[in-house]
């Protein structure tokens, strides 16, 4: 990493729709400012880069108390789907792309995307299960080495 280049390392650890967008928006903004971006997807954050799941992420009202929905109501059948549909509608109003398209945009803009080796192994995934934009599957230590001196955000 060049000492004069500002780098942002974003660690994505959660795979819900409402947790995917903060990292994607920050990565996009950083690239627009010329900041080098390296994204690391680990644990449930792997859903963001999983081909079968990236465009089917959901919002869980049970685990999101700021939605103001009583836990008893949030746990009812169909409430997660309703909350997800509502959030997707709001995201569309803001002219934000779906998750996989956003990953493509960020990657095309020069951001690097990495999958966590331990999470890939734990979830019994292969490179074929991941979106094409993933540059490499790396271990945590390797990611920390390649982002030494970077500003690190854990989402």
Distance CA 95, CA 118 (A): 35
**CATH superfamily ID and name for 7-60+98-154:** DsrEFH-like (3.40.1260.10)
**Confidence (pTM):** 0.89
Start-to-end CA span in the chain (Å): 23
The whole-number pLDDT of residue 68 equals 67
Q: What angle do CA 66, 68, 71 make, to 5 degrees?
A: 100
In DSSP terms, 39 is beta-bridged to 10, 113
Cα separation values, 42 from 4, 68, 103, 117, Å: 28, 28, 16, 8
Distance of CA 98 to the CA centre of its chain: 12
Distance CA 152, CA 32 (A): 18
Domain coordinates of the chain in residue numbers? 7-60+98-154
Location of structure tokens 């094409």? 132
Distance of CA 20 to the CA centre of its chain: 4
The whole-number pLDDT of residue 27 equals 98
For the chain (155 residues), the mean pLDDT of every run of 10, in chain order, is: 81 94 97 98 97 92 68 67 80 91 97 98 97 98 96 95
The secondary structure element, H or E, covering residue 36 is strand 36-41
Residues in CB range of 90: below 8 A, 6 or more apart: none
The SS3 of residue 41 is strand
Distance of CA 109 to the CA centre of its chain: 16
């Amino acid at each position: 990493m060049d000492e004069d280049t500002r780098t942002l390392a974003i660690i994505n650890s959660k795979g819900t729709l409402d947790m995917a967008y903060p990292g994607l928006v920050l990565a996009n903004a950083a690239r627009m400012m010329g900041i080098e971006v390296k994204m690391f997807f680990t644990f449930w954050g792997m859903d963001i880069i999983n081909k079968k799941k990236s465009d089917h992420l959901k919002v869980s009202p049970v685990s999101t108390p700021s939605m103001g929905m009583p836990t008893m109501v949030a746990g009812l059948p169909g409430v997660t789907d309703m909350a997800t549909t509502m959030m997707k509608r709001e995201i569309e109003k803001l002219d934000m792309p779906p998750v996989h398209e956003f990953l493509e945009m960020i990657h095309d803009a020069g951001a690097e995307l990495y999958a966590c080796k331990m999470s890939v192994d734990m979830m019994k995934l292969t490179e074929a299960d991941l979106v094409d934009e993933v540059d490499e599957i790396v271990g945590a230590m390797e990611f920390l080495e390649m982002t030494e001196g970077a500003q690190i955000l854990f989402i």
